[in-house]
Amino acid sequence: MPRTRNDRRPGRLGRTRWTDTMTTRAAGARTTDDARANDDADAIDDARTIDDPPLVEDARFDDGHGDWEGVRLHVVSGKGGTGKTTVAAALALALASGGRRTLLVEVEDRQGIAQLFDCPHLPYEDRKIATAPGGGEVYALAIDPEEALLEYLDMFYHLGRAGKGLKKLGAIDFATTIAPGLRDVLLTGKACESARRRVQGRFAYDAVVMDAPPTGRIARFLNVNTEVAGLARFGPIHTQAEAVMGVIRSPQTAVHLVTLLEEMPVQETVDGVAELRASGLPTGGVVINMARPPLQAEDESDTGRRLTPELLEAGLVAGGIKPTRPLVTALLSEADEHASRIELESTGRALVRGLDVPVYELPLLAEGMDLGGLYRLAEALREQGMA
């Protein structure tokens, strides 16, 4: 099993400002907000920085990403507790196989990625955290909205040290708290910049995987243009929001949902797909996580409802076990619970498969989640065509 780091010291990539490639200030002394907005839009993707990561050949991206060839930004969401961070990490590993390079982005400040890969706390810069099969590389980035806003203020308003002073006074935290739409623009903007980042005409990453907020607020989180409508109708903030939406609503983005075969997660997934479609956001696939294999492989339709005390007692006797009443009662109860679970999972699976999207299943790992398990899940995603 490949190891994720050497000598417990993850590699590092230089910090690159999202405004450097998404929207930049054009040359010339313009004073009006409209002029600034036009300059910003014209300068998208023109800027270059010396801290960009090593180049990635476009041809490697064209080698194929399974069902999602052409998608550069994979947004992974799901109801809390479904394992969306684990699935996002496994997808990043799967997409990096065969010598490709991916970036795994965290936007909720939970450091869940660092915990999964057993690596130090992730800073606000791209860092290598894993090596994928075939020599691929996985980098990770924990986006800090305050740091992103400081970059934004420095880029468009040249605040420099004054911006850092505002942070010390708590003004930056205040701004990102009272204006959640602005916060979402900063978080999604950095992820979109990473997906589009080019150096000398070549992509820096083959794909970017975002560990996004839960299903209940994913549509609002991604629909940042609506969020900032009340903040700015023109100028750099509006221009940045338009640029971000241009990426998110494009065929280069796919929003995948993670679910369990349980009633509430399945229903939230069904509702989430409907909301994504209603919002005009690109719906990806659904990953059924922690799926348990059937105990009766010969006939999955037989859930155990036909098991009677007589049949159970006969089976125990055939196995050399004395069929006492307490034992028979306990085993019948377990069989009934198993039957209920199989029926519930069958109903949930049918609902998910009725959504008309690609569906993938990841097994429940009895030994728990560790690095080895993460690589096994990545392999399962590759085998099913998700990467």
pLDDT for 130 beyond 90? yes
pLDDT for 132 beyond 80? yes
pLDDT band at 234 (very low <50, low <70, confident <90, very high): confident
How much is the average pLDDT of 339-347? 87
* Token couple for 77: 């969401």
Q: How far is CA 61 from CA 83, 98, 129, 276, 318, in A?
A: 27, 10, 20, 26, 58
pLDDT for 104 beyond 90? yes
Q: Assess contact for 153 and 159: CB atoms under 8 A.
A: yes
For residue 29, the one-letter residue type is A
Q: Rounded to the nearest 5°, which phi and psi values hold at 221?
A: -60, -45
- In the numeric block, the tokens 């299903």 are attached to 215
Q: Which range has highest mean pLDDT (8-12, 292-296, 368-372)?
A: 368-372
Flag the least confident range among 55-69, 106-120, 174-188: 55-69
**Quick one: how far is CA 340 from the chain centroid?**
32
Q: Assess contact for 25 and 227: CB atoms under 8 A.
A: no
Flag the least confident range among 137-141, 170-174, 286-290: 170-174
Q: What is the pLDDT of residue 167?
A: 52
pLDDT for 3 beyond 70? no
Query: How is residue 12 annotated by DSSP?
Result: B
pLDDT for 306 beyond 90? no
pLDDT for 137 beyond 60? yes
Q: How many residues does the chain have?
A: 387
* Token couple for 108: 């909720």
Question: Among residues 374, 177, 345, which one has the least CA distance to residue 259?
Answer: 345
pLDDT for 27 beyond 60? no
* Token couple for 177: 């708290």
Q: What is the pLDDT of residue 215?
A: 95
Q: Assess contact for 136 and 102: CB atoms under 8 A.
A: yes
Q: Rounded to the nearest 5°, which phi and psi values hold at 165?
A: -65, -40
Bridge partners (DSSP) of residue 57 are: none
**Mean pLDDT value across the chain:** 78
pLDDT tens figures, 270-303: 999 999 999 999 999 999 999 987 665 444 555 5
- Number of helices and strands (H, E) in the chain? 16, 10
pTM of the model: 0.76
Q: What is the pLDDT of residue 99?
A: 94
CA-to-CA distance for 223 and 11, rounded, in angstroms? 33
CA-to-CA distance for 9 and 6, rounded, in angstroms? 6
How much is the average pLDDT of 171-189? 65
Name 222's Cβ contacts closer than 8 Å, sequence gap at least 6. 75, 188, 212, 248, 255, 279, 281
**Cβ count within 10 A of residue 209:** 30
CA atoms within 13 A on the CB side of 343: 10
pLDDT for 162 beyond 60? no
pLDDT tens figures, 215-226: 999 998 998 777
Flag the least confident range among 20-34, 101-115, 128-142, 339-353: 20-34
